[in-house]
Amino acid sequence: MLLTFDQAKQKILQACTTVKSLEHETVSLNDALDRITAVPIISPINVPRFDNSAMDGYAVRLADIEKSRTLPVSKTVYAGDDIDDLNWAIGSCLRIMTGAPVPNDADAVVMQEHTQVKGQHITFLKDIKAGDNIRRIGEDIKKDAITVAKGQLLSIPTLSTLATLGIHQVCVYKTLNVAIFSTGNELTPIGQPLTDNGAIYDSNGFTLKQLLTKLNCQVIDLGIIPDDPNQIKQALMTASTQADLIITSGGVSVGDADYTKTALEELGQINFWKIAMKPGKPFAFGQIGKALFCGLPGNPVSTVVTFYQLVQPLISALAGQQTLSADLTFKVKTATDLKKSVGRIDFQRGRVEPNDQGELEVKSTGQQGSHITQSFNKANCFIILEQERGNVSKGEYVTVTLFNDLLK
Ligand code: AMP
Ligand code: MG
């Protein structure tokens, strides 16, 4: 009995909670992009720090306005001014610029477009309400509030908020060490000539390094290991002493030269091996020593699909991220027939685009074999076809999810 995709993903995420006790380090805000907070970040100040003007215009007291809609200007306040000693005569208004502090006794700021200026006198043309165009102290962020919780991925908008608070360094979890190797007698490193007739290039080794670098992991590259049980075991033992996670490609299927799964069974514990998904049915998951292990299938498309769908959330969880946002999925009509057999969830590659009426629709990228790398190159989304679904005809609704940044 194969595990369903959801069961497999759940087992993977469960394993993460038991494995790693994460270490911390403090990094400059400049180096904090895509890192994960190890402690909550508390705001040292209010934002805004003081009541300030949202417009270039005039600060007024409503009591003055009730008496006269034309008032003389007594002073001008600029952004950056200190207004502690500001004397502002009753029956006058203040010229004020965007970002300038608003005195406590001003009720509103009137934008200059709603006034008429005659020399030093301003006539107010529209209704004025208390609080108009005043940005209040702390209305964005309150002093001492938790601004970023623990276990959050630091994005550019979040870092920008921290910069607003004057925070210049953050305590984050250390990045993961991930060991990789490719298995297969047929594999040749890219950059070297293909000498034997049966030789192919080790594209998975390259791809895994790119994907892991994108996820902020430190890659320990053990290269290509031939289909030899002893050499595979040796590589796994080396990897397990250095890495938080070991990822291999190839050798986890049912062929005579598929030794990776057996090596895992001998050296560590196997959690599960097969998933009812396509591509990616053979996927070995387990643990060797303190390192988690993912044995990805060797076909290049299967390697990327299983990495995206299963290893990516595993790495986020293992690296300390607390809330994993679910992929945003939505339904659109397919503009092409889709071949599908019942019994496994399919992650087909497609292109979602607006049609002539501006409505989104999805097209298959063509042949979906797990060796057809072109199915990925032209795609911008996965078409997720449910396990029990059969062939899909043009015009039926299907679930899609756009590729996230990992593949860009
Ligand atoms: P395996 O999972 O070892 O049975 O391999 C399945 C298919 O993927 C075979 O056609 C392999 O030649 C191919 N393959 C395995 N490893 C790699 C790799 N690192 N790069 C490119 N193709 C691979
Ligand atoms: Mg192989």
Q: What is the pLDDT of residues 33-72, one digit of tens each?
A: 999 999 999 999 999 999 999 999 999 999 999 999 999 9
- Residue owning the nearest CA to atom 23 of ligand 1: 298
d(CA 235, CA 174): 24
The finding on whether 32 has its CB within 6 A of some atom of ligand 1 is: no
pLDDT tens-digit profile of 243-284?
A: 999 999 999 998 998 999 999 999 999 999 999 999 999 999
pLDDT tens-digit profile of 343-382?
A: 999 999 999 999 999 999 999 999 999 999 999 999 999 9
The finding on whether 250 has its CB within 6 A of some atom of ligand 1 is: yes
d(CA 389, CA 335): 17
The finding on whether 268 has its CB within 6 A of some atom of ligand 1 is: no
The predicted structure's pLDDT at residue 17 = 83
Q: Which CATH class is domain 52-135?
A: mainly beta
- 188 token code pair: 């040749």
Q: Which CATH class is domain 24-47+139-173?
A: alpha beta
Domain with CATH 3.40.980.10 in the chain: 5-23+174-318
pLDDT at 395 over 70: yes
98 Cβ partners below 8 Å, 6+ apart?
Answer: 53, 54, 55, 56, 79
Residues in the chain: 408
The finding on whether 223 has its CB within 6 A of some atom of ligand 1 is: no
d(CA 207, CA 205): 6
- Residue owning the nearest CA to atom 5 of ligand 1: 298
Residue 186 contacts residue 199 (beta carbons within 8 Å): yes
Q: Which CATH class is domain 5-23+174-318?
A: alpha beta
* CATH H-level superfamily of 329-407: MoeA, C-terminal, domain IV (2.40.340.10)
Q: Is the pTM of this model over 0.85?
A: yes
Where residue 240 falls (left for φ over 0; alpha for ψ -120 to 50; beta otherwise) is: alpha
Mutation test residue for ligand 1: of 201, 224, 249, the one with most atoms within 8 Å of CB? 249
Distance 300 CA to ligand 1 centre (A): 7
* Residue 183 Cα: closest atom of ligand 1: 16
Domain with CATH 3.90.105.10 in the chain: 24-47+139-173
Domain with CATH 2.40.340.10 in the chain: 329-407
Mutation test residue for ligand 1: of 181, 183, 187, 247, the one with most atoms within 8 Å of CB? 187
**What DSSP string runs through 74-86?**
EEEE-TT---TT-
The finding on whether 115 has its CB within 6 A of some atom of ligand 1 is: no
* Residue 205 Cα: closest atom of ligand 1: 19
The finding on whether 182 has its CB within 6 A of some atom of ligand 1 is: yes
Mutation test residue for ligand 1: of 181, 185, 200, the one with most atoms within 8 Å of CB? 200
